[in-house]
Amino acid sequence: MANEIIYNPHVSVDCVVFGFDGEKLKVLLIERTIAENNELFNDKKLPGSIILADEDLDKAASRVLTELTGLKNIYLSQFRSFGGPDRTKNPRDILWLENTMQLKIGRIVTVAYVALIKIDRKIQFKSEIAQANWYDLNDVATMNLAFDHAEIINKGMQHIRHNLDIEPYLLFELLPRKFTITQLQSLYDTVHQTRSDVRNFRKKVSQWPHVVALDELEEGVAHRAARLYKYKK
Amino acid sequence: MANEIIYNPHVSVDCVVFGFDGEKLKVLLIERTIAENNELFNDKKLPGSIILADEDLDKAASRVLTELTGLKNIYLSQFRSFGGPDRTKNPRDILWLENTMQLKIGRIVTVAYVALIKIDRKIQFKSEIAQANWYDLNDVATMNLAFDHAEIINKGMQHIRHNLDIEPYLLFELLPRKFTITQLQSLYDTVHQTRSDVRNFRKKVSQWPHVVALDELEEGVAHRAARLYKYKK
DNA sequence: GCAAAAGTGTTTCTACTACACCCATGG
DNA sequence: CCATGGGTGTAGTAGAAACACTTTTGC
């Protein structure tokens, strides 16, 4: 007899994966379909799942993200747990959980992780069990999300904003390997919710030793091509 | 028949409560005694416990802190979860858990909270089930602590330090209602791990609009009495 | 030649640093 | 009268903010 997979049905992990498309912040969500009263109902959820009986939380988060999206070697950082007894009380969510997991489910405490990734690498979301897509962070407020996932995304963004004040280099996790100063500023202003001055921003960046100019320019734009930079070390 | 208390033996909360005695940072720990091979073994643990089956995490943290220390209405803020499968593998900890809880215990994921409190209010730790005491934060590294509580305390301190950069008013949670600038500076330097200049520090504080001078001086000191201040609004 | 975005300097203001001595009180 | 901690000012420096025009390129 093969080893049976034993789950811990009381604890789950959820991954809030942020990306930046050059203009807006995106978050990675999984499509979910629920058969309800002979109708199919569609909504979205974060990549996440209950953990295995003897599994470390960080490892569980990586495993689940890979299983649901195909993404590997993503740096995930735990930021908060959510455990209100009501978070698993929506009948639609209970139905979906019990169908998917084949387990009776009570209250689940979830441990949430954030990750920042470069959206530009032509990501192929490869998973047999789920379909993942990027969604505008701004649209999340008006979308149908499973459980308390809207709140988790909000808290995740707050966490990122908080952390960027202390570790500004995190921004480069979201940018392509080669980027323009305009892209960097656009990202910077998006997450800080500011509108900084072009000259002051370039002055500031020019003191960042890890941002180095390349001998390359943008291509295929209908205006003066911008210089490309990379983040080094 | 009375309602039976139903626990969720998979999830716990732990509270890292910091205080400041005017000189050093303190952390609140519970005495623990374990009968092991006919000998009594003493160590310390954080105030914490598994949660009830249908209990919100934040409420659980407050409840547990009150039950174990008598402290009420303490603002607790969740900062991190700990869930390595090895954290509940120490035989001494398992023994203690099963004796205390009268439950078979497997792996427990704990959600950790921090609180900052004024040590000066003549705290009486009132609890029938536990004895709480303040310990120097610096001594924690060399003490015997249950589970991974030493790590939890460290991470809690990091969290506080981190947050103080963003919300400096948190310092006043640790000071008595009336305090001297010297006390404030001593606390400030302790948590920031700095030694700031007296004049510069006073200059800085004088720009903090919420720190207001009182018409009162220290009493009972063998030198010039310092002016008292309070934190307002 | 014009639309669209890239790129560039100077001045002002503010916040932090460095630094040394007199003051008030209790014992 | 002396030991102990309380309390004060000035000058220099570094980083942030305000502010407008010229350059390059594709179409």
Token pair 């160590």 is at which residue? Answer: B43
> What is the rounded distance in angstroms from the CA atom of residue B180 to the CA atom of residue B217?
9
Q: What is the pLDDT of residue B103?
A: 86
Region of B169 (left: φ > 0; alpha: ψ -120 to 50; beta: rest) is alpha
Is the distance from CB of A97 to CB of A105 less than 8 angstroms? Answer: yes
Residues in B touching A106 (Cβ below 8 Å): 53
CA gyration radius, chain A? 20
Q: Please report which confidence band the pLDDT of residue B54 belongs to, taking 50, 70 and 90 as the band edges.
A: very high
Q: Are residues A46 and A144 in the same domain?
A: yes
Residue B56: domain span: 10-168
Does B122 have pLDDT greater than 80?
no
Q: Is residue A96 part of a domain?
A: yes
SS3 (DSSP) at B105: coil
Residues in B touching A107 (Cβ below 8 Å): 8, 53-54
> What is the rounded distance in angstroms from the CA atom of residue A111 to the CA atom of residue A78?
7
Report the greatest alpha carbon distance in chain A: 68
Q: Are residues B145 and B193 in the same domain?
A: no
Q: Are residues B132 and B148 in the same domain?
A: yes
Q: Does B111 touch chain A (CB under 8 A)?
A: yes
What's the angle, vertex CA A111, arms to CA A108 and CA A162, rounded to 5? 140
* Residue B89 CB-density burial (10 A; 0-12 exposed, 13-18 middle, 19+ buried): exposed
Could A11 and B11 be called an inter-chain contact, meaning their C-beta atoms sit closer than 8 Å?
A: yes
Smallest Cα distance from A163 to chain B, Å: 9
User: How many structural domains is chain A composed of?
Assistant: 2
Q: Does A85 touch chain B (CB under 8 A)?
A: yes
Cα separation values, A28 from A53, B14, B97, B148, Å? 26, 32, 40, 33
Nucleotide C27: nearest residue by CA–C1'?
Answer: B222
Q: Which of B152, B168, B184 is the last residue of a domain?
A: B168
Q: Is residue B137 part of a domain?
A: yes
- Give B74's contacts (C-beta < 8 A, 6+ positions apart): B17, B62, B65, B115, B117
Q: Is residue A1 part of a domain?
A: no
pTM to 2 decimals?
0.93
Q: How many residues does chain B have?
A: 233
Q: Are residues A164 and A184 in the same domain?
A: no
Q: Which of A134, A168, A202 is the last residue of a domain?
A: A168
Does B1 have pLDDT greater than 70?
no
Q: Are residues B209 and B110 in the same domain?
A: no
Amino acid at A154: N
Q: Are residues B164 and B59 in the same domain?
A: yes
Q: Which of A153, A168, A183 is the last residue of a domain?
A: A168
Q: What is the CATH number of the domain that holds A196?
A: 1.10.10.10
Q: Is residue A156 part of a domain?
A: yes
Q: Are residues A21 and A36 in the same domain?
A: yes
Q: Does A77 touch chain B (CB under 8 A)?
A: no
Q: Is residue B159 part of a domain?
A: yes
Pick among B57, B109, B110, B114 to test the A interface (most A CBs inside 10 A):
B109
Is the distance from CB of A146 to CB of A45 less than 8 angstroms? Answer: yes
Q: Are residues B136 and B34 in the same domain?
A: yes
User: Of A53, A57, A109, which has the smallest distance from its Cβ to B57's Cβ?
Assistant: A109
Q: Is residue B200 part of a domain?
A: yes
Q: What tens digit of pLDDT does each residue of B56-114 get? A: 999 999 999 999 999 999 999 999 999 999 999 999 999 999 999 988 888 999 999 99
Q: Are residues B43 and B81 in the same domain?
A: yes
What's the angle, vertex CA A144, arms to CA A138 and CA A146, rounded to 5? 110
Q: What is the pLDDT of residue B195?
A: 95
Q: Is residue A145 part of a domain?
A: yes
Q: What is the pLDDT of residue A128?
A: 87
Smallest Cα distance from A81 to chain B, Å: 7
For A130, list phi and psi in degrees, rounded to 5.
Answer: -160, 155
Q: Are residues B163 and B85 in the same domain?
A: yes
The separation, in Å, between residue A145 CA and nucleotide C21 C1' comes to 66
The separation, in Å, between residue B157 CA and nucleotide D15 C1' comes to 30
Q: Are residues A153 and A202 in the same domain?
A: no
- DSSP annotation of A171 reads G
Q: What is the pLDDT of residue A2?
A: 55
Is the distance from CB of B11 to CB of B50 less than 8 angstroms? Answer: yes
Q: Please report which confidence band the pLDDT of residue B233 belongs to, taking 50, 70 and 90 as the band edges.
A: confident
Is the distance from CB of A13 to CB of A61 less than 8 angstroms? Answer: yes
Q: What is the pLDDT of residue B105?
A: 87
Q: What is the pLDDT of residue B23?
A: 86
* Residue A173 CB-density burial (10 A; 0-12 exposed, 13-18 middle, 19+ buried): middle
B166 vs B30, residue with greater confidence: B30
Containing H/E element for A206?
helix A198-206
Closest CA to B15 of B52, B84, B83, B63: B63
Q: What is the CATH number of the domain that holds B35?
A: 3.90.79.10
Q: What tens digit of pLDDT does each residue of B129-157 get? A: 899 999 999 999 999 999 999 999 999 99
Average pLDDT of adjacent 10-residue blocks, chain A of 233 residues: 81 97 93 89 96 96 97 96 94 92 91 93 81 96 96 97 88 95 96 95 95 95 95 91
Q: Does B56 touch chain A (CB under 8 A)?
A: yes
Q: What tens digit of pLDDT does each residue of A27-45 get? A: 999 999 998 888 999 999 9
Q: Please report which confidence band the pLDDT of residue B225 belongs to, taking 50, 70 and 90 as the band edges.
A: very high
> What is the rounded distance in angstroms from the CA atom of residue B132 to the CA atom of residue B196?
34
Q: What is the pLDDT of residue B179?
A: 96
Q: What tens digit of pLDDT does each residue of B155-190 get? A: 999 999 989 888 888 999 999 999 999 999 999 999
> What is the rounded distance in angstroms from the CA atom of residue B33 to the CA atom of residue A148?
41
Q: Does A155 touch chain B (CB under 8 A)?
A: no
For A185, list phi and psi in degrees, rounded to 5.
Answer: -65, -40
- DSSP annotation of B54 reads T
Crossing angle (nearest 10°) for helices A181-192 and A198-206: 110
Residues in B touching A109 (Cβ below 8 Å): 11, 57, 109, 111
Q: How many residues does chain A have?
A: 233
Give the mean model confidence (pLDDT) for residues B184-201: 96
Neighbours of B188 (CB within 10 A): 18
Q: Is residue B98 part of a domain?
A: yes
Beta strand residue intervals within A94-147, DSSP E: 109-116, 132-136
> What is the rounded distance in angstroms from the CA atom of residue B124 to the CA atom of residue B129?
14
Q: Are residues A134 and A194 in the same domain?
A: no
Does B3 have pLDDT greater than 90?
no
